[in-house]
Amino acid sequence: MDKVKLTKQRKSKLYEQVKERIVEIIVEKGLAPHDPIPSEGQLAEQFDVSRMTSKMAIQALVEEGILYRLPRRGTFVADINTGELQYNATRSGKEPMKNKVKQLISLILPMIDDFTGNILHSVEQSCSLHGYHLVVKLSEDLENEEQILQEMSASPDVAGIILFPRGRKVCGEQLMKLRLAKYPIVILDRSFKEIDFDCVLHDHYLAAYQITRYLIDHGHTRIGFLTNQMDVARSREERYQGYIQALVDSHVGIYTKLIHSVEETNGMMKRVNLSEDPVIEVLKEYLKNSGDMTAVCCTEDILAIKLVYAAEKLGIRIPQDLSVTGFTDNKVIDMYPLPLTTVKQPTDFFGESAMSLLMARLENPDQPLKTIKLETTIVENKSVDRII
């Protein structure tokens, strides 16, 4: 490796020269986010300086968000837009990156509906209270979500990200990179099995446990469970576990034929034109094969509405013949003639909780990860009957 001679003036000036040359290496070699850079020792040898000087240069770039360290693994390029790096910022008169005030928080949502719209409002209010502006991005699919994460985390104006992930249980590659880089990010209403994040979510297990016990307290002992695909979101698994545990604790039988998962294809679960919805036929078969089932816990309000519609087509009366509960308290149920008993997921504290976690993470990137669980409530309406 050829040595590069630097002008040895004051030590502070020397490490700044090394810092500029490191950025020059990143630009000239076209290093991408999460690519490694030479070690402290290699840099010290290349620039003919002490290891302390190269260490100071690296640390300065870490503080500016250009590099990040992983213990016993090395130093890597942070998730930034490397094409915008200006290693001669001081000489050209441009403001160094470290002096730029990051004034934006990015909120990434999979869609805007009643539930996520309320979350958006809550986050926006909290951002304003903390002196930040909110930039909202909608992800079209998992691939697009990854692209948005990369774009937002690379922006020099974005201080942190609040993400409501699209349905999945496995952490995506880009999200994993941000976690390893200790990028400030908070996950909303989701959790992943393989890695932890700062997150704000409802207690899906407890909510399902309570709504199942509610049905049991109304005299039901043959209680079904209807869900969208459980392998898509961990929250659905947790609701299923809460349902099972409530049956076990109440010494009520578990009937596997009453447990059904509806496969989602091409957004079919989002359709509200019930007469043309292919799910209705699937639900009719479920009801025909469920024998003397007297109640059903549904993991989504829209799914519960579809079940009620299918039951009515079969001449099954709600709630006289079959009690049905939903989940989320979606405003779409207000358009349906039968008021649905459901689990309400309050969104008022989502923004406040997410911003408190994000602000704490910005203050101390090394603090322990934290999960905030929000309580749910049961909204009693007219879709549940008491069995005497």
Which distant-in-sequence residues (6+ apart) come within 8 Å of 136 by Cβ?
Answer: 106, 107, 108, 109, 120
- pLDDT at residue 94, as a whole number: 41
Residues 104 and 96: their CA atoms lie apart, in Å, by 18
Q: Are 228 and 260 in contact (CB under 8 A)?
A: no
Within 13 Å of residue 345, how many CA atoms lie on the same side as its CB? 28
Each residue's pLDDT expressed in tens, for the chain with a length of 388 residues:
555 555 444 434 678 888 888 988 888 788 888 888 999 888 888 888 888 888 888 988 888 888 888 777 789 888 776 656 653 333 344 444 444 446 789 999 998 887 888 889 889 888 888 888 899 999 988 889 999 999 999 888 899 999 999 876 677 888 888 888 889 999 998 888 778 899 999 999 999 999 999 999 999 999 999 998 877 678 889 999 999 999 999 999 899 999 999 986 544 445 556 777 889 999 999 999 998 899 999 999 999 999 999 999 999 999 999 999 999 887 777 777 889 999 998 888 888 899 999 999 988 888 899 999 998 999 999 999 998 7
What pLDDT sits at residue 50? 81
**pLDDT, tens digit (0-9, with 9 covering 90-100), for 59-118:** 888 888 888 887 777 898 887 766 566 533 333 444 444 444 467 899 999 988 878 888
Q: Rounded to 10 degrees, what is the CA torsion of 148, 154, 159, 164?
A: 20
Using CA of residue 361, residue 364, residue 366, residue 371, what is the dihedral sign? negative
Cα maximum dimension of the chain:
91
Instruction: Say which amino acid occupies 62.
Output: V
Locate 345 and state its tokens: 């997921």
SS3 79: coil
**pLDDT reported for residue 268:** 45
Distances in Å between the Cα of 165 and the Cα atoms of 143, 157, 263 are: 12, 22, 20
Query: What is the structure's pLDDT at 76?
Result: 85
CA distance 388 to 382: 17
**For the chain, which domains are there?**
11-99 (1.10.10.10), 104-201+348-374 (3.40.50.2300), 204-346 (3.40.50.2300)
| Residue 349 zone, left/alpha/beta (φ > 0; ψ -120 to 50; rest) | alpha
Q: Which of 364, 285, 376, 276 is nearest to 326 (CA)?
A: 376
User: What are the backbone dihedrals phi and psi of residue 161, each rounded to the nearest 5 degrees, phi first?
Assistant: -125, 140
pLDDT score recorded for residue 239 = 94
> What's the whole-model pTM score?
0.67
Rg of the chain in Å (alpha carbons): 27
- What pLDDT was estimated at residue 81? 66
Round to whole Å and give the CA distance between 322 and 199: 37
